[in-house]
């Protein structure tokens, strides 16, 4: 992706930035010039290193947009969101001002919202960390590219946990987390150096509950990933870049591990852990009684039934009015469990290695055993997904039987991303003649906002049956090939691909520019002058951010529907990245029109 030649030049540039920062540090030229939008301090060194970094990167990558902490303001709109630099010329300005040594220079290259290259340089020691060729590397002062040494995370030993926390950000939540996790040591380290400690295997976890900006963590994330770790959100999926205002929410950076304990994420987010535990225990009891339970996943809320009961499975169809020919997704705790029910293929292995746990569903041949037959409802193929959401994982881990779960909405309607949506569809009684929704776990709004990507993995190349958060570009990148999509007649292959689906009550019209009668508007980005006075409207993302639009899509459709309008008109939404999945849902929602 980035050539060796380019890496050598970026390292040279980082060395120059190191010297420049160090010069200001030594000369005590660290006086505060001002405070920025977000109240962080600005010094002469920030400005000088920024100039040097931006000019240098521009020369090396003339066509790639650069987002730098130093010229970002909240009104900033950038154009090519698929490929851009995120740089923080001096991370840890407070360290710098206070004459502590842990400030760093940070460059990260983002593609499809994920970091593909990162470099962190520490001026005071001259050390540089970066990733290249799927490995993480370290260069010490005076060394050149060829002297680079591989660094790696060590496998986490949960009995002897070592954690890192931030110098200036010890919140109450973080204290709680620490007393729950009980590390044998916790170090206080400033700036992005924390990611380098993780990547070198010196520590296991860096939890963060207070806000950060994307350029603070993107380079560290990239290096850590190449060293065997990762940075995940509180619903267990890898942190994305190019989010609204470049702000991060809660995250957990971790070293090498098979599975993060569910409780590590739940504790990070959930203040009332005892009431959560009760919800979980009740849910397991109800599932075992063959009742239905609504639980959060990273995509949308699921309507779960225990997978070994014909009666429970049948009641999902009754509750949703779901056509009996539309099969369900079996959710399992991990891949090992999934292998009991589906015949894995090379394609399936590659995709799940990269995206499980997470918003990916794969279709495989069903294995020949009784539970597999039940889970696939007698079909020769089975849909399986290992969710990343810690609540879904807690349920699956404890109940030890796969859970079948469609989205928790009435069939053909809009999927639920909040508990209110579930209540609209199934309340106030939450039961019918032959179904009983006896427990709902409320966990706030779902991070992704649309359903998982469904991929047929039976052949040599994946076939995308339903677009989702894991985009066709991401998948075709892995396989180095164009990705096949099913033709119209494949409605029979995946019944959920029905042309009409995800529909609110109002008629939906897509790619709209001018107003029709009795309509509400779903906007995206800049609203044309002629429509600015519309009262019944919702803007999916005023800054034109597709990740935000994806997250808000379903609640926006439900919101506009609540006005009882006859029509919902949708502005054009770009067909790139996650925009493909958004357009796919809207197209099905608008099928009759
Ligand atoms: O994100 C999600 O996948 C959510 C959460 C709750 O996990 N679940 C979800 O389930 O969206 P549901 O039932 O709403 O959609 C399942 C999709 C449908 O399009 C269905 O036709 C397809 O998966 N599917 C299930 N089994 C299949 C099979 N054997 N072959 C092809 N497609 C299948
Ligand atoms: Mg659905």
DSSP 33-48: EEE-TTS-EEEHHHHH
Ligand nearest the Cα atom of residue 378:
1
Pocket of ligand 1 (CB under 6 A): 297, 299-300, 302, 326-329, 359, 361, 363, 379, 381-383, 385, 405-407, 451-452, 454, 465-466, 493-497
Q: CA triplet 100, 102, 108: central angle to 5 degrees?
A: 150
- Structural tokens at position 436: 């009983």
As beta bridge partners, residue 520 has 568
How far apart (Å, rounded) are the C-alpha atoms in residues 509 and 214? 35
The residue contributing the CA closest to ligand 1 atom 17 is 496
The residue contributing the CA closest to ligand 1 atom 32 is 494
- Exposure letters 578-591 (e unless 16+ CB within 10 A, then b): bbbbbbbbbbbbbe
Separation of CA 441 and ligand 1 centre (Å): 21
Separation of CA 407 and ligand 2 centre (Å): 4
User: Which residue among 236, 324, 361, 378 is best mutated to probe the pocket of ligand 1, counting the most ligand atoms within 8 A of its Cβ?
Assistant: 361
Separation of CA 233 and ligand 2 centre (Å): 24
How far apart (Å, rounded) are the C-alpha atoms in residues 348 and 111? 23
Q: Which residues contact 123 (CB under 8 A, 6 or more apart)?
A: 17, 18, 19, 21, 22, 25, 103, 104, 105
What's the pLDDT at 69? Answer: 86
Q: Which residues contact 444 (CB under 8 A, 6 or more apart)?
A: 296, 418
Shortest-distance atom of ligand 1 to CA 379: 29
Closest to 553 in 3D by CA, of 482, 495, 502, 499: 502
What's the pLDDT at 82? Answer: 81
Shortest-distance atom of ligand 1 to CA 466: 19
Shortest-distance atom of ligand 1 to CA 497: 19
DSSP per position, 48-96:
HHHHHHHHHHHHH-TTSEEEEGGG--TT---S-TTEEEEEEEEE-HHHH
Q: CA triplet 137, 140, 144: central angle to 5 degrees?
A: 80
DSSP per position, 88-136:
EEEE-HHHHHTT-S--EEEEEEEETTEEEEEEEEETTTTEEEEEETTEE
Separation of CA 381 and ligand 1 centre (Å): 12
Q: Which residues contact 26 (CB under 8 A, 6 or more apart)?
A: none
How far apart (Å, rounded) are the C-alpha atoms in residues 333 and 262? 11
Given a contact cutoff of 8 angstroms between Cβ atoms, the answer to whether 519 and 568 are in contact is: yes
The residue contributing the CA closest to ligand 1 atom 21 is 496
How far apart (Å, rounded) are the C-alpha atoms in residues 585 and 241? 23
Shortest-distance atom of ligand 1 to CA 387: 7
Q: Which residues contact 273 (CB under 8 A, 6 or more apart)?
A: 180, 266, 267
E strands, 210-287, in order: 212-213, 230-232, 247-248, 251-254
User: Which residue among 356, 496, 503 is best mutated to probe the pocket of ligand 1, counting the most ligand atoms within 8 A of its Cβ?
Assistant: 496
Separation of CA 562 and ligand 1 centre (Å): 27
Alpha carbon of residue 469 to chain centroid: 8
Q: Which residues contact 498 (CB under 8 A, 6 or more apart)?
A: 412, 491, 588
Q: What is each CA distance from 13 to 19, 53, 56, 130, in whole angstroms? A: 10, 7, 7, 13
Separation of CA 215 and ligand 2 centre (Å): 36
Separation of CA 163 and ligand 2 centre (Å): 40
- The pTM of this model reads 0.94
Shortest-distance atom of ligand 1 to CA 381: 29
Cis? peptide before 428, omega within 30° of 0 = yes
Q: What is the pLDDT along the chain (593 residues), one digit of tens a residue?
A: 799 999 999 999 999 999 999 998 887 655 656 666 666 677 788 889 999 999 999 999 999 999 998 777 666 666 667 889 999 999 987 777 788 889 999 999 999 899 999 999 999 999 999 999 999 999 999 999 999 999 999 999 999 999 998 766 678 888 889 999 999 999 988 899 999 999 999 999 999 998 999 999 999 999 999 999 999 999 999 999 999 889 999 999 999 998 899 999 999 987 788 899 999 999 999 999 999 999 999 999 999 999 999 999 999 999 999 999 999 999 999 999 999 999 999 999 999 999 999 999 999 999 999 999 999 999 999 999 999 999 999 999 999 999 999 999 999 999 999 999 999 999 999 999 999 999 999 999 999 999 999 999 999 999 999 999 999 999 999 998 887 776 644 555 666 666 667 789 999 999 999 999 999 999 999 999 999 999 999 999 998 999 999 999 999 999 999 999 999 999 999 999 999 999 999 999 997 76
Separation of CA 409 and ligand 2 centre (Å): 7
What's the pLDDT at 489? Answer: 46
Q: Which parts of 236-334 fold into alpha helices (H)?
A: 262-269, 273-288, 310-320
Closest to 119 in 3D by CA, of 254, 245, 44, 17: 17
Given a contact cutoff of 8 angstroms between Cβ atoms, the answer to whether 386 and 333 are in contact is: yes
How far apart (Å, rounded) are the C-alpha atoms in residues 202 and 154? 8
As a residue count, the chain comes to 593
Separation of CA 383 and ligand 1 centre (Å): 7
Shortest-distance atom of ligand 1 to CA 329: 25
> 120 φ, ψ to 5°?
-125, 130
How far apart (Å, rounded) are the C-alpha atoms in residues 7 and 4? 5
Shortest-distance atom of ligand 1 to CA 366: 29
Looking at residue 147, the DSSP 8-state letter turns out to be G
- Structural tokens at position 539: 């803007």
Helix (H, G, I), strand (E, B) or coil at 195: helix
């Amino acid at each position: 992706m980035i050539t060796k030649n380019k890496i050598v030049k970026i390292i040279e540039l980082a060395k120059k930035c190191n010297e420049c920062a160090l010069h200001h540090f030594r000369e005590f030229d660290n006086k505060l010039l001002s405070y920025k939008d977000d109240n962080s301090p600005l010094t002469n060194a920030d400005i000088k290193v920024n100039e040097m970094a931006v000019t240098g990167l521009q020369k090396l990558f003339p066509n790639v947009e650069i987002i730098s902490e130093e010229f970002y303001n909240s009104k900033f709109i950038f154009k090519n969101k698929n490929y851009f630099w995120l740089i923080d010329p001096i991370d840890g300005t407070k360290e710098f001002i206070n004459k502590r040594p842990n400030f760093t220079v940070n460059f990260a290259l983002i593609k499809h919202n994920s970091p593909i290259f990162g470099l962190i340089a520490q001026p005071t020691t001259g050390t540089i960390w970066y990733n290249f060729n799927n490995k993480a590397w370290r260069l010490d002062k005076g060394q050149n590219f060829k002297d680079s040494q591989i660094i790696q995370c060590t496998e986490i030993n949960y009995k002897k946990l070592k954690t890192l926390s931030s110098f200036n950000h010890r919140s109450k939540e973080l204290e709680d987390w620490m007393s729950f996790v009980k590390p044998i040591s916790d170090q206080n380290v400033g700036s992005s150096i924390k990611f380098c400690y993780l990547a070198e295997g010196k520590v296991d976890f860096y939890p963060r509950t207070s806000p950060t900006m994307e350029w603070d963590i993107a380079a560290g994330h990239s290096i850590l990933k190449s060293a065997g770790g990762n940075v995940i959100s509180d619903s267990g999926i890898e942190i994305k870049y190019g989010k609204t205002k470049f702000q991060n929410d809660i995250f957990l950076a971790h070293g090498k591990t098979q599975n993060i304990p569910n409780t590590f994420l739940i504790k990070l987010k959930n203040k009332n852990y005892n009431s959560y535990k009760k919800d979980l225990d009740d849910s397991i009891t109800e599932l075992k009684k063959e009742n239905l339970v609504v639980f959060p996943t990273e995509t949308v809320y699921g309507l779960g039934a225990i997978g070994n009961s014909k009666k429970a499975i049948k009641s999902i169809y009754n509750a949703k009015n779901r056509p009996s020919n539309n099969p369900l997704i079996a959710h399992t705790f991990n891949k090992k469990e999934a292998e009991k029910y589906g015949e894995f293929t090379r394609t399936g292995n590659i995709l799940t290695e990269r995206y499980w746990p997470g918003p990916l569903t794969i279709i495989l041949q069903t294995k020949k055993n009784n539970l597999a037959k039940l889970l696939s409802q007698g079909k020769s193929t089975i849909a399986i997904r290992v969710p990343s959401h810690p609540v879904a994982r807690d349920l699956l881990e404890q109940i030890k039987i796969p859970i079948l779960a469609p989205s928790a909405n009435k069939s053909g309607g809009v999927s639920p991303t909040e508990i209110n949506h579930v209540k609209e569809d199934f309340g106030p009684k939450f039961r019918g003649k032959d179904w009983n929704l006896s427990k709902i776990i409320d966990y706030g709004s779902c991070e992704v906002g649309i359903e998982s990507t469904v991929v047929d993995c039976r052949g040599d190349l994946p076939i995308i049956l339903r677009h989702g958060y894991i985009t066709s570009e991401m998948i075709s990148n892995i396989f180095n090939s164009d990705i096949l999509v099913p033709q119209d007649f494949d409605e029979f292959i995946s019944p959920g691909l029905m042309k009409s689906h995800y529909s609110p009550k109002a008629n939906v019209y897509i790619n709209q520019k001018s107003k029709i009668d009795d309509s509400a508007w779903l906007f995206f980005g800049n609203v044309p002058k002629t429509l600015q006075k519309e009262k019944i409207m919702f803007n999916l993302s005023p800054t034109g951010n597709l990740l935000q639009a994806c997250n808000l899509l379903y609640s926006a459709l439900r919101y506009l529907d609540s006005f009882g309008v006859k029509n919902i008109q949708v502005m054009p939404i770009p067909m790139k990245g996650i925009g493909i999945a958004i357009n796919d849902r809207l197209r099905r929602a608008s099928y009759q029109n």
